[in-house]
Amino acid sequence: MLSDKPYAELLHLEPAQYTSLQNLDFMGDLIDFSYIKKDIAGTKKAFEIVEAIRQTDLLPVDQARFHYFQANGWSNMRFFNRFEQPDSWDYDQTELTKEIFHLRSCLRMEGFVEMSKDRQCQIFTNLGNHFSHVGRFIEAQQMWHNALAIIPRFPMALGNIGQGYFHYAGCLYDDNHRSIFIYHTYDYLKRALLLKKHLDPDAFNHWNERAGKIAANWPATFLQTHHDFNQFDLGKDEDLKAYREWCVGQCLYINPLNDLGPYTIACHDILHLPAITVANGEPPKYHTLFNQIKQEYGTARFLYYEGTQLAAQHYADHDIQLVDTLEYAEYSYNLEKVKIAYRLIYSLFDKIAYLLNDYLQLGLKRNSVSFRALWHETIKGKRVLRNRFRNNNNLALRGLYWLSKDLFNADEEQAHSEVLEPGAQELAAIRHHIEHKSFKVVQYGTWGADDEDNYTYLIDRGKFEFKTIKLMGLMRSAIIYTSLAIHHEEIQNPKGPAFPMELPDFPFDDKV
């Protein structure tokens, strides 16, 4: 709702004359007016007003609005600077980085839950749309489904889920998986189209056209028949069954089908690297490293499961005598499993970078490769995107680049300005303290803890477990993006005639 103040007056108001709450409302109005009138001056003025707003003066719900308005402001700037321009698909986009950062900041605010349900769904949907745009189609699905968890028939989320599944399907190389994704695409699009009066006309027309093309190219018996995707036998072993149910419920299988829902058909880490053409006599080194990444990921996942879901006193702790420091610190074999899982998962990002550096022939020295350093190079003292990624239409590779922005590297000059995840610095600090410094998990948050010199990193156990599984989900996405990115490269850059060599599955009996 726009205020009674005319646009011209808002453009010239002096923010020092008003309270933080009044300036917040003016800021929101200017951003809305600016978009309606297609005038960048309103958005620029809104960003001037930001500097006059003290967040500590605002109620929690208004602190959430503060970030929501900023996200809208950066959306305006992206529209003014890049709409229908050649650089609209550039990897490096400050405006898009800021949009996503502020939407995620909004979600982290205590006041987010005080917003209207419609606004909450809109924020989740917008964030999903941005993730989809930058190639993070897995995280996009999570955001859109979060919106449906609030309002099950939120039309824009329904339609975007269908559209997102369609693009996801286009990246897959398994025909059976692609067919299942198309089935879900059609289902969600049809559900959204039933809510026509609540949809933007352009969105309705686009999704209606998409659904029509699918109907014309896929058998009606396939699209309109109910399919049971819970066909996979979880086994008779109750422990294995419980573990599989937990993994698929947490969406932790390296299997694209898990992104469609907690179906038992997704209860195995089926995704491998695609067929890769290599020089005659060259060993399957990329598949070897991918095997290692998958095995280490699966091991970390089970360590976390054991340490959190099967937590019980263990005889290994009996002989370890510790001093009670009277600050509710926790020490146990189970907690160490979670810490090991965290460290193991974090290390896998650099292994992915190691694989991609060699496969894409980026030329980084093998002993200096990192997931954050993979994408840029320094030319004449300026940090720029590598030529290998310029004008690259590989959606999964683009997703990996934007996923790297969720990680923080204090050694990078632009780390603070480019980070996409508000909690990225904390994730890095946890890893660094676990590896090299003092790290302490406590029972009751950091209440009563005396650590004025920051000697020890303190964290509540529930918060630490939450961050660990969040990091695990991020790694799962990175593994899937890596496989699909390499598939795209193999298709787009064929290397001539080749003799096929089939690699068999590694036998379970040899896993000792």
What string of DSSP letters covers 81-110?
A: HHTTSGGGG-S--HHHHHHHHHHHHHHHSG
CATH of 7-223, one of 1.25.40.10, 1.10.8.420, 1.20.810.10, 1.10.460.10: 1.25.40.10
CA distances from 316 to 5, 16, 341 (A): 70, 63, 18
pLDDT tens track of the chain, all 512 residues? 455 688 999 999 999 999 999 999 999 999 999 999 999 999 999 999 999 999 999 999 999 999 999 999 999 999 999 887 777 778 888 899 999 999 999 999 999 999 999 999 999 999 999 999 999 999 999 999 999 999 999 999 999 999 999 999 999 999 999 999 999 999 999 999 999 999 999 999 999 999 999 999 999 999 999 999 998 999 999 999 999 999 999 999 999 999 999 999 999 999 999 999 888 878 899 999 999 999 999 999 999 999 999 988 899 999 999 998 888 889 999 999 999 999 999 999 999 999 999 999 999 999 989 998 899 998 988 889 999 998 889 999 999 999 999 987 765 545 445 667 888 888 889 999 999 999 999 987 655 445 556 789 999 999 999 999 999 999 999 999 999 999 999 999 877 665 566 777 777 766 66
Within 10 angstroms of residue 167's Cβ, the number of other Cβ atoms is 15
Tokens coding 290: 């991918």
> Shortest CA distance to 304 belongs to which of 247, 372, 382?
247
For residue 436, the 8-state DSSP code is: H
Query: Residue 232 is encoded by which pair of tokens?
Result: 């996979």
Q: Provide the pLDDT for residue 511.
A: 67
Interstrand relation of 456-460 and 438-442 (parallel, antiparallel or unpaired): parallel
The pLDDT, as a whole number, for residue 415 is 45
pLDDT of residue 4: 66
β-pairing verdict for 382-385 and 376-379? antiparallel
Q: How far is residue 347's CA from residue 406's CA, in Å, rounded to a whole number? A: 14
Q: What is the pTM of this model?
A: 0.93
Helix (H) or strand (E) holding 402: helix 395-404
Residue 40's CB is within 10 A of a number of other CB atoms, namely: 15
Nearest to 471 by CA among 252, 184, 257, 312: 252
**Pick from 110, 98, 9, 118: which is nearest to 55 by CA?**
110
Helix, strand or coil for residue 329?
strand
Residue 459: which H helix or E strand, with range?
strand 456-460
d(CA 143, CA 39): 30
Return phi, psi of residue 457, to 5°: -85, 120
> In Å, how far are 2, 71, 159, 192, 305 from 200, measured between CA atoms?
21, 21, 11, 11, 43
Is the CB of residue 49 less than 8 Å from the CB of residue 66? no
Residue 338 CB contacts under 8 Å (≥ 6 apart), including other chains: 303, 304, 307, 308, 464, 465, 468
Domain with CATH 1.25.40.10 in the chain: 7-223
Rounded Cα–Cα distance for residues 441 and 328 (Å): 9
Q: In sequence order, which residues have a C-beta less than 8 Å from that of residue 225 and are 6 or more positions away?
A: none
How high is the pLDDT of residue 383?
87
| Residues listed for the chain | 512
Classify strands 382-385 and 438-442 as parallel, antiparallel or unpaired: unpaired
Which residue spans within 121-187 are E strands per DSSP? none
